[in-house]
Structure formats: C-alpha cells, structure tokens
Structure 1
C-alpha cells in the first residue's frame, strides 16, 4: 500500500518558524508561533469546508469555478487558495474516490467525476451519505498488488490500518463487511470466494467483471504511482474516520 503521507504543508511552516528564533526575544517568538498556529488551524478548517462544498457539487453533478470557491468558501484566505485547493483535491481523490478536473482553464472551471472512470453511484438520494468509491479503489489496488487476488486476512489487515474495522460502523463507509462482501459483490466490482481446498475455510477477493469492464490494471497502476507518497489516513482523521490511540485503548 502507498506509504504514509507526511504532515500537510501548512504544518511544516510551523516547524520552520520555531527553528529560527526571533531576535526580539522569547515573547515575540511565542507570539509569532501562536499566530502561525492559528493560521494553520484556519487553513485546515477551510480545506474541510472546501471538501464539503465540492462533495455537494459532486452530488448535484454541477461544475464549479475558482471564483465561486473563493467567494463561497475561501473568502479572506484567498492568498492561500493553491494549497487549500490542492489538499482538498487530494482528500477527495484518496478518501472519496472523486477527481477534480479543470475543463476550462481560461475561466478556471472544474467538474467532479469518479476516479478511474468507475460508474458506481452509491450516494443516490440519501443526503446523509458520502462517496465510498475511495475505499473500493483501495481494495482494487490491494488485490492487484497481491497478485490479482487478496486473502480476506490481508484485506482486513490493510483496512484496519485505515481505521476501517470489521463489525464497526465507520463515519464515511458505514458497515464495511456488508459493503465489501455483499454490496460490491452484488454490484460485480468484487468477487468474494472460498479458497479451494482450504481447511479451515478461507476466503479471498478478486476483481469482479464490472471492475474489469470499467477500468484496467494499467490505469490502476498509474493511479498507484501518482499517490505513492500519499495516504488517506492523513485525511480520514479530519473526518473522524480514524480512531485515536486513546479510543483504541478504551
């Protein structure tokens, strides 16, 4: 699986600021660090707001523009638009399986579409649901990396590392076992089958016929190369998708 992504760019500047002490003394240095911390918190919230705004556009199948994002979401942080937009786009792709594509560079107009060309639309008319295609793509990648078939044990080990646990309701993906062993099997994106001659009985996952029809191994490998240094865990935690160490120990 892709290596874990480091801290977002906005947190790096805080570290850099603390390494160079202001000559004005401890007081001015602390004031500067406090101001920087407040800015990073504000930018992180703006990124989350932009993700929510773009998910609404995705649900309604509406395009958007840079001007609309600036006026509706970014507002007084327009100078920071490039980093906010970049991280929001990464979050949409890695967590939700949604790509932000610029279709008119002159007007900075964007449309939102499912990553890798998958047509699965799980949102339907449920206003409380969120796209789950990001998890499906993670499974397709895992199966490919494991030699076109992944054991159930390997799948749950990978999902546990993302905070997606068997039998535990997830804030984004719902009940994961039903999703991956029933819904996506019925939708023919996955095959979930008994390993021949296994004793005790073991199961494995393979690509289903619909996955083969809508995407391809080269496309998935290209996707893996693009996201090699990134990981959805960094963004899942922002949406309550990863349990804290304290919760795990409880």
Structure 2
C-alpha cells in the first residue's frame, strides 16, 4: 500500500515538473514568435490609431509595470505583449518608449532590461540614483529588505558566490533561524530561496557533482541594477570599525562598478 502511494507521489511529482517545463517552453515559444517591429512598421501602426488610443495603451502598460513592481516581480516581454499590449503589438517599441519616459518624468523610475535573452524588465529608483542617495535596498526601511541586505553583503564580501550553509549560519547568529518560523518573516528559507529568487535579487544554484546535493547563492540581476557595492562596503566598514579600503579586492570591484554606471 505504502509502496503504491510512494509510486503515485513520484509519478505526480514528475508529471508536475513536466507540466512546469512545458509551461516555460510555451512561454518562451510565445516570445519567440514576437518580432520587434521595424521603425516603418511602427510608423504605419501609429497612423492607424488615434493619439488617445496610444496614450490609453501606454497608461495600461505603466499600470501593469507598477502593479508588478509592488511585489518586485520582473516583467517578461512575452507576458506584457500577451496580456496588455495585445492588438497594439505593431507599435510595441513606441509604447515602451513612452512608458519609460512616463516612469522617468512622473515617478522618478528607470525601466531596465535585466535579462536581454528572455527580455525581462524591472523598475529602479532613478531619482535616488541620480542624486547619489541610498536606494531603498541600500538603506533598508523594512525588515525584509534588511534581511536581503545582510545576505547580499555576505555574498559580496566572500567573492560573489557562497554556499547556502554560510548564509543560514550567518542568519542564525542574527537570531533568524531558517529552520524555525520567524515572527516577522514567516518561513525564512522560503523567503530567501523562493521570494528573493523570483524577484531576481538572488540566484540559488545547485553546485554540480555534490552528494548530498549542495546549493550556492549569488547576486541576481535586480541586485546588480539596484544595489551599490560601494555602499555595502561603507556599511561593512562601519559595522567592523574598519576602513573600507582595507578590503582591497572588494574596494576595487565596488568602485569599478560605481565608475562604470
């Protein structure tokens, strides 16, 4: 009886994985069928529409991005075209250009493509970057962002890649035990390995040829776009009462990144 049940669970699990894989492939296929319209195609498309129609569709795109950004979920071009742009796909470049301008001028946000291969976009705080003030992640105002900031700091100071055990041990020292439900974060492990990964702040990757299986963390593309490594180094310097320049390699990397942005 128990053997049949285990077999059934295994089959169900593999079926779910196949369905999930099929869903991802289908989404990628949908995006592959979308060809970026040429300038002349966009111009012809605009001639068939009223300014009010274009403005309305741009507003819908802006609203969609802002809704996703509340949960820090990156926006895929395939989803944007399928669910929002729809019949206006021939003027997609113009809509995105106008939406980006709206984000900059009205909201002080910058539209950034963090994954050119899969065409994924996020919004970053443009005003705060422009005035060299700390972005929200760099001076966390809520506990969850504070948790993320600690993890990003550990990864950066350890050379860009760390085994997950180091992260869990660091959090335990801060009285955040990934094995216990936390009053503020709930399931800590799920927040770190699922939520932060989906939001593209972290990458959580299996280390090849490990038995038992081990995982490692790296910065995700959203962290690269939003978080200043120079500020992390300043934070660590204050924490350890140490000159940031004493971490030679990290200092060089942090300021090389800052100068190139």
**Is TM more than 0.5 here?**
no
When the two structures are superposed, what TM-score results if normalisation uses the length of structure 2?
Answer: 0.38
Higher relative contact order structure (alpha carbons within 8 Å, sequence separation ≥ 6): 1
TM-score normalised per structure 1: 0.40
Structure 1 or 2, whichever has the larger Rg, is: 2
Higher helix share: 2
